[in-house]
Amino acid sequence: MNVGVIGGAGTVGASVAFNVAMSGLAKRIVLVDLKENVAMSHVMDIEQAVCEQKAVSLEVGDYGLLKDCQVVVVAVGAPERQVGSRDDYLALNIDIIRSLAPKLVASCPNAIFITISNPLDALNYTLYKLTGLRPEQFIGYSRNDSVRFKWAIGRALGVTPHVIGAIVMGEHGDKQVPLFSQVTVEGRKLDLDLEHKETINGLIRTWFLEWQKLDSGRTTGWTSGTGMIHLLRAIAEKSRETIPCSVVLQGQYGLSDLCLGVPVRLCKTGVKEIVQLDLTEQEKEALNSAATKVRSVIAKCMM
């Protein structure tokens, strides 16, 4: 597999490149960024960091180098700053997506595109519409929401998160939908009481604001970089792992013409299957509310 990273000089892009190199899933990694010197510094560092363990080629260049990439990660975006919502990045990032679309069609029209830039759901859908390529090729990386759900459950229950099964659907943002009906611990369904649910929801809802208060100027590079390996492994190795991703819906869950986070199975051509879960009425209402919100952001992208 060859992997391209657009925005390879940034926190997320560099972390993705490092984690992919360490995983051994890619033979070649291409970093594309306006800051070529910074991208090259990452390449020089990563190739030595992994040279004793993995054989992988890393290079920096323009969009033409993406022509042989099976997967292209779109991690480019406006610089991290204090914001109240991920939607605050829309004005700058939509212009980047608009300029990016024709370049991707020209250089790598058969690739799978994994978008990380925010607001994730709307930008992933807009990139799909602007390119005119197959919907299965477009994946929004929203796995971090489910990781944070597991982390919050673990904190509330005093359980290590690696034995917890949990998934978040909906928007990668304020309208995320944590599925309490699907939570498991060591493979067994767990019925959480109202007090625990309120504690967990509190941890989830305040996490982004607490992160913003730090004003660190960086985004969640480590979580996104390690989580990306789950997607790439599913693509490369025909894994049947169910992964939460923001994808183009075409009637699933009664929704169409937008991207939302849902459980999917991936393959070498992109989205193989959107998994239909049995949701509670409350979860269905929350998912529909998320769809309404995302559609309003998509409408701004299409102006």
Question: Distance of CA 23 to CAs 50, 215, 228, Å?
Answer: 10, 31, 10
Active-site residue, selected from the candidate residues 42, 162, 172, 196? 172
Cβ–Cβ < 8 Å for 293, 175: yes
Order the strands of the 184-185 sheet from edge to edge: 164-165, 184-185, 188-189
- Catalytic annotation present for 196: no
For residue 253, the 8-state DSSP code is: G
Cα distance between residue 176 and residue 279, in whole Å: 14
Helix ranges (H only) for the chain are 11-23, 36-50, 90-107, 120-131, 143-157, 194-214, 221-237, 281-301
Cα distance between residue 217 and residue 81, in whole Å: 6
Encoding tokens for residue 79?
A: 């610089």
Q: How many CB atoms lie within 10 A of CB 9?
A: 23
288-293 long-range contacts, Cβ below 8 Å, gap at least 24? Answer: 288/254, 288/255, 289/175, 290/169, 290/170, 290/171, 290/175, 290/176, 290/177, 290/260, 291/255, 291/258, 291/260, 293/171, 293/173, 293/174, 293/175
Active site members: 172
